[in-house]
Amino acid sequence: AFDAGYLGGAKFVHLTGITPALSEDCRAFVLQAAREARASGARVSFDVNYRSKLWGPEEAREFVEEILPDVYLLLAGDEEARALWGSDDESLVRDLARKGPKEVVLKTGSAGSLALVDGEVLEHPAFTVAEVDPVGAGDAFAAGYLAGHLWNLSADDRLRVANAMGALSVATLGDYEGLPDRDELRAFLEGERSLGR
């Protein structure tokens, strides 16, 4: 069972679609965590993180749509959006937002990202990097977007930070080795830092 006491005044609780794919108990746990986090005043962030080896698209889609009323921020990649909903465009983002989330962010890889925030569609281009290893890019993107929230950045700047984090992640071998600290991120965004370490 989920113990809301662990939240300790958290501003966000980040959940992903991997955990509910593992078992019925995990699904129930994630739903309970989302409901209790929202009830406690925390904003729930949910990254679809669809894994076809863990469950089918219909089952995953049903779960995502069940959790949406408790989700503040929904993140999805374009490939998983096509797998679950058959679409990866602005109409899908708007449709998902009508089901509960205040923000829906679509990661579009080398094209950048698309978001619906406060009814406004925003797009931000990707940073051009030489891809070394794509592992961890989605998690880095999510971390950047959430950090942008915690830093009180505008939605456009949150997308920019998220895209930068994704770019830095894929430009280095390993799932987290390329992640910058805040000063390194700022330098990259200002064009002062070359990729790679």
Residues with catalytic function = 139
The gap from C-alpha 193 to its chain's centroid, in whole angstroms, comes to 25
CA distances to 14, 73, 119, 194 from 101, rounded to whole Å, are 14, 6, 11, 36
H/E run at residue 114? strand 113-117
Q: Which of 133, 12, 153 is nearest to 75 (CA)?
A: 12
DSSP 139-173: HHHHHHHHHHHHTT--HHHHHHHHHHHHHHHHTSS
